[in-house]
Amino acid sequence: MEKNNYPRHIEHVFEFDIAPGQGVERLDVYLTRVIPNASRNKVQEAIAEGAVIVNGVKVKNSRKILPGDHIVCTILKPPPLELVPEDIPLNITFEDDRIIVINKSAGMVVHPGFGNRYGTIVNALLYHIGMRESIVVDNDENDSGDEEEIVEHYNVDAYRPGIVHRIDKDTSGILVIAKDTEALAFLAKQFRDRTSDREYYALVWGNVKNDEGEIVSHIVRSPRDRKIFIATDNTKLGKFAHTTYSVIERYEFCTLIKLKLKTGRTHQIRVHCSSIGHPLMSDAAYGGAQIAYSGIKSGVVKSRAEEVMKIIPRQALHAKSLGFIHPTSLQKMIFDSELPDDFQKAIDFCRHHSTI
């Protein structure tokens, strides 16, 4: 079997005739509702690219459907996703008959998606629980595998086991996985209701002034780059996001902080830290891959800052601990993790050279 992470897309053509009596509805909303497994983003992209024709004419997203309209929508979608069990080592912190808690290493994607079909946590977990045959499931191209949000769409019966939440590919740390449908629903509800406890450690650029604080905004996709997100005060856009933080240690050009997620949006910590002028060190997507602190006045300190980015060349973020109620015992469980080597070495280097 050739391990092709970028399979050729398949063209899907959908045709609809709007019946008399159909209520007024935006075209993009209607197509999202009637096309199986379609996301609104995907439909809007198709309309913007001229792949949606109404009565022989290209139209806009805001166009209202009318009785008698003939709609032709062409969408390119990846083929069904083949989940292949792979013998990949996992750092398992805890396991019983309902859940698995792992300490994910940086560089590993949580679940398969377009561009990440192999080498993921799910591939490793399938093998770990004894599966050897591949599973074919519908694929959703909009799932990049690089998100922190709760995975509400996962079908645990198809995927085995159920991924409750995700952390970014280059973020390390604690994850919980459900082994059955009931456990998945039980755990996912805690994440949605914000009753789970998630604590992260991050190295951010600059001297964070306040010992503690909170960041509240809405988070929306960047209009300039659909792969990243931005914080906005416009409550009509994106999704509400809330992060609290406290300073652990300050160094000469960066600060070690502890963050707690009150919501779980895509790239939330990375976006929020960048929005207050303290991007994560080495975070290329959000301005941290170059020196982002104006207080560096000498070449010697600049060299030390560059050395830290060599020590930890990925975003300096670690999911330190996770707390939740167990689906069987109903007891609160809290799992903590040691910082990975690159993160700890970066801290040690900063401590050794810090003048604060």
Q: In whole angstroms, what is the distance from residue 106 CA to residue 260 CA?
A: 20
Is the link from the previous residue into 85 a cis peptide, with omega within 30 of 0?
no
Name the token pair of 260: 């707690």
Half-sphere exposure in the Cβ direction for 273 (13 Å, CA): 38
168 is a catalytic site residue:
yes
Q: How many residues does the chain have?
A: 356
Please name every residue paired with 218 in a beta bridge, in sequence order, or none if there are none.
Answer: 232, 240
Q: In whole angstroms, what is the distance from residue 171 CA to residue 167 CA?
A: 6
SS (H, E, C) 250-310: ECCCEEEEEEEECCCCCCHHHHHHHHCCCCECCCHHHCCCCCCCCCCCCHHHHHHHHHHHH
Please report, as a single letter, which amino acid is at residue 147. Answer: E
Which helix or strand (DSSP H or E) is residue 32 part of?
helix 27-34
Q: In whole angstroms, what is the distance from residue 333 CA to residue 323 CA?
A: 5
Name the token pair of 342: 């690159």
Q: How far, CA to CA in Å, does 346 sit from each of 203, 213, 306, 317, 319?
A: 9, 24, 11, 12, 16
Neighbouring CB atoms inside 10 A of 195's CB total 12
Which residue of the set 168, 170, 283, 342 is catalytic? 168
Catalytic positions are 168
